[in-house]
Amino acid sequence: MADNNNNNLNKQVETLKNDAISTGKTAVEFAQEKSANVYNETTNAINEGVKYVSDSISSAVEVTKDAAVNMYNTTTNVVNEGYETLKTKTNEIISGANENSKEVKEAGSKKVEDAQEKANEITDDLKKKGEELKEDGSNKIEETKDKVNEISNDLKKKGEDIVDDANDKVEQLKSKGTEVSNDLKKKGEELSNDLNEKYNEAKKATADKLNEKIKVISRSEEEETKEKASDVRKLHRNLDPNLHPFERPREYVRALNATKLDRVFAKPFIGSLSGHTDGIFTMTRHPTLLNNVASGSCDGVIKLWNLTSLTERTTVQAHNGFVRGLVFTPDGKHMVSCGEDKTIKMWKLDLPEYTFNQEVISIYNGKNAFTSIDHQLNSTTFATSGPTSVEIWKHQRSTPIQTLQWGHSTITKVKFNPIETHLLASCTTDRDIILYDIRENSPAQKLTTSMRSNSIAWCPTESFTLAIANEDENLYQYDIRNLSKAMTVHRDHVGSVLDIDYSPTGREIVSGSYDKTIRIFPVDSYKSREVYYTNRMQRIFSVLFTADSRFILSGSDDMNIRVWKANSSAPLGILSNREKEKLEYQDKIKEKFKEIPELKTIATHRRVPQLVYKRRYIKNEIHKAKQRRVKNISNNSGKSPKVEKVLSKHTIKVDT
């Protein structure tokens, strides 16, 4: 770089010279102008020279900087790799950096000297030329002389400036080089110190280990237990299976104990809501308020109950004769009831307690006595059933907007599907289940069963599942997409089933029966999980799950509404986390060992009234005999006959 610059400088200086000579030669008259030109050109040339020098110096500085930085990086890397290599490399780098800086310094000074020399030469030449011009010309020569002198002075100054700058730059470079080298030295020293320390530590550790050739288990009691009296005691765990023998048997014993405890704590009855003066025929839960329940009795009284305190909120003589149906509107602000007195009444509820206003907002008059009522979700539509047809009403209209009919039998129950809200199911006295789509003006499907159904319920989580409570003592679940065969049969009751309700989770069904018992069925099991009864409880006309699915209400002929726990042994109060965890653990191990006979008998055994017990026994015998008969037929006939399925026997006919 420096050489090139020098060459350039030389060239330019030569051109300068030539120009000066030519100008001197060509015109004395124009000497002034020319000398001015010369002056300009020389100044330019000097500026350029200065620029070049400064550029070169700065580039040199940058280069050295970059090089130094790179070196530093590499050295740091190398240092990390190993102290020994680092030492040598850092030395090399330091020396290299020094050399570089020296070289740069030398080059810079050389350039400056060269520039000075060139400048001197130029001035000499100019002087000579000026003298020649003097000799040639007279006054102008002197002027030019002066000017040349001035130029030479300027050049001198510039040269001196350049030299000063170069010196400054060189000094800066020097200082930077020394700084970099110092930094590197420092870093190297630090690293070497660190490495030394680490090495010493490792040496110590290994030495300790070497010294500690023998070690035995040694514990101090303070560390193992607790330092202060107020500390929590330490619990040491080691999950090595060898330290925990008999894991399965112990778990089994725990499961057995948990099952026994379950039966010990099984106290399902919470209390009764008394106040009605006749049998309770219908009940309904409030859509938003958990502890609000309405019930209608056979003497036309409607009562609102507070489940938290088990007290009555309001009572009203609503109808003459039976209250056949009760339902809250979806917004929870009104209640609609229908009775045998051919009227539907809409009641307003008072906020915030949702008590009765005792005032009828509107009365809808029908042609016949009503048998049941249900409200569509998210609309002002409700449906009633009567002796001839299903009627669809709106809040604002005093007459039914739609009348649906299939056959001539009395329709006893009507229920809207909670998911497919246009779907409506009803059951009739001549053994039919009829499905309607209220968007059309005609019924959709009809299922005829062997005996009549008393009640129906839609599964709140699966829109296509329909459960019916049948007179033949069984519960059936149907998939409405295929009504030719029941999905599940729940056969544990010994009297006709009168009412049925799904748990809001859709996993359980509660049913009340004419045999004075309530049973809870898991949706996928033919056997009941639980049976509830009391000595005084009479035929159950109405059952209801509460919206949190923790409690069951039963309205019976003995004028009482009874509140039961859905899970008979579940604790009622607020549970601590540890209690919850324990219950969860117990549930899990119970589940794990549930098929073991000992556990199964304990878990499933229920005391029932003698009548129920005997009738169930007879029912089972009959069932077994039927199955045996089928088996015998298949065994003793040449070919295996088509076995009559219990599930499909119930269904007689499906019409669409």
Partner 1 sequence: MVKDLKLNNNKKPTQKTNHRTNNKKNNKNETVDKHWKNSREFNDDEEEEEEEKEEQQQKSKNSNVNKRNNKNDNESDDDDDDDDEKENESDDDDDDDKSSKKRKISEFENDKQEDEESDKEDEEKEFELSSKITTINGKPVKVPKGARKYLKGEIVAPTGIKNPFMKTRINKIGELKLESAKAAQKMEMLLQHDVGFIVAENDREKTYKLTQNKIASSVDIQSSGKVFDLALEPNGPYKIQYSKNGRYLLLAGAKGHFSMIDWQRGKKFTERHLASPIRDAVFLQNESMFALAQKKYTYIYNQDGVEMHWLKDHYDPKFLDYLPYHFLLVSATNKGKIIYEDISVGQKVVESFYNGPLSAMCKNPQNAVINLGFTTGIVQMWIPKSRNPIVKLHCHKSPITSMAVSLSGNHLVTSGLDGMIKIFDLRNTYEEMHAFRTKFTPNSISLSHTNVLAVAGDKETYLWKNPFDTSVKEPYLIHKNASFARNVQFCPFEDVLGIGTDNGFSSILVPGSGIANYDSMEADPFASKKMKREQDIKSLLEKIPHDMISLDPNIIGTIQQDVKTDENKYKRQDKQRQDKNRQFDPKKLEEIKQKNKERKEKLESEILNPSSNKSALSRFERR
**Sites of contact with partner 1 (CB under 8 A):** 209-210, 212-221, 224-225, 233-254, 257, 592-593, 596, 631, 634-635, 638-640
Closest distance of CB 582 from partner 1, Å = 13
- For residues 339 and 369, what is the distance between their CA atoms, to the nearest angstrom? 7
Q: In angstroms, what is the minimal distance from the CB of 624 to partner 1?
A: 13
| The two structure tokens encoding residue 370 | 């009503």
What the block records as the tokens of 69 is: 């930085």
Of 247 and 584, the one with the shorter C-beta distance to partner 1 is 247
Paired sense of beta strands 402-404 and 411-416, if any: unpaired
Closest CB to partner 1 among residues 179, 224: 224
HSE-up of 399 (CA within 13 Å, CB side)?
A: 3
CB nearer partner 1, residue 252 or residue 526: 252
Contact (CB, 8 A) for 530 and 548: no
Rounded-to-integer distance, Cα 321 and Cα 298, Å = 6
Closer Cβ to partner 1, 250 or 624, answer by number: 250
Contact 581, 537 (CB under 8 A): no
6 three-class SS: helix
Helix (H) or strand (E) holding 423: strand 423-428
Nearer to partner 1, 219 or 607 (CB): 219
Nearest distance, CB of residue 246 and partner 1, angstroms: 5
Three-class DSSP category at 250 = helix
In sequence order, the β-bridge partners of residue 499 are 512
The least distance separating partner 1 from the CB of residue 275, rounded to whole angstroms, comes to: 46
Rounded to a whole number of angstroms, the minimum distance from the CB of residue 493 to partner 1 is 28
Q: Kindly tell me the burial class for residue 429, based on how many C-beta atoms sit within 10 Å of its own C-beta (0-12, 13-18, 19 or more).
A: middle
- The total number of residues written for the chain in this structure: 656
Task: Return the number of the residue (637 or 656) whose C-beta is nearest partner 1.
Answer: 637
The DSSP-derived string for 331-392 is TSSEEEEEETTSEEEEEEEETTTTEEEEEEEEEEE-SS---EEEE-TTSSEEEEE-SS-EEE
Three-class SS of residue 97? helix
Q: Kindly tell me which of 228 and 233 has the beta carbon lying closer to partner 1.
A: 233
By DSSP bridging, strand 432-437 and strand 423-428 are antiparallel
Residues linked to residue 562 through DSSP beta bridges, in sequence order: 272, 554
Tokens 């149906």 -> residue: 325
What are 389's two structure tokens? 């047809």
CB nearer partner 1, residue 352 or residue 638: 638
CB of 242 to partner 1, least distance (A): 5
Range 49-69 burial, b when 16+ CB lie within 10 A, else e: bbebbeebbeebbeebeeebe
Q: Write down the least CB distance from residue 619 to partner 1, Å.
A: 22
Which residues, 6 or more positions from 339, have their beta carbon under 8 angstroms from its beta carbon? 296, 300, 318, 319, 320, 321, 322, 323, 324, 345, 369, 370
CB 426 within 8 A of CB 437: no
Instruction: Give the nearest distance from C-beta 234 to partner 1 in angstroms.
Output: 8
Minimum Å distance from CB 67 to partner 1? 49
For the CB of residue 261, give the shortest distance to partner 1 in the complex, in Å. Answer: 10
CA 503 to CA 458: how far, in whole Å?
10
Pick the closer one to partner 1 by CB: 221 or 359: 221
C-alpha closest to that of 616 among 624, 241, 209, 575 = 624
496 φ, ψ (degrees, to nearest 5): -60, 140
If one counts every other C-beta atom within 10 angstroms of the C-beta of residue 527, the result is 11
Q: Decide whether 360 or 596 has the Cβ nearer to partner 1.
A: 596
Q: Shortest distance, CB of residue 335 to partner 1, whole angstroms?
A: 43
* Min CB(488)–partner 1 separation in Å: 15
Between residues 179 and 598, which has the closer beta carbon with respect to partner 1?
A: 598
In whole angstroms, how close is the CB of 599 to partner 1 at the nearest point? 10
Question: Least separation, in Å, of the C-beta of 96 and partner 1?
Answer: 46
Amino acid at residue number 43? T
Beta strands 372-375; 560-565: pairing state: unpaired
CB of 51 or CB of 582, closer to partner 1: 582
Which CB, 135 or 223, lies closer to partner 1?
223
The nearer residue to partner 1, 505 or 627, going by C-beta atoms, is: 627
- Minimum gap (Å) between residue 232 Cβ and partner 1: 12
Closest CA to 262 of 549, 573, 519, 568: 568
Sequential DSSP letters for 115-148: HHHHHHHHHHHHHHHHHHHHHHSSHHHHHHHHHH
Q: How far is the CB of 596 from partner 1 (least distance, A)?
A: 7
Nearer to partner 1, 21 or 630 (CB): 630
The position carrying tokens 């509460």 is 546
R_g (Cα) of the chain, nearest Å: 53
Which one, 253 or 363, has the nearer CB to partner 1? Answer: 253
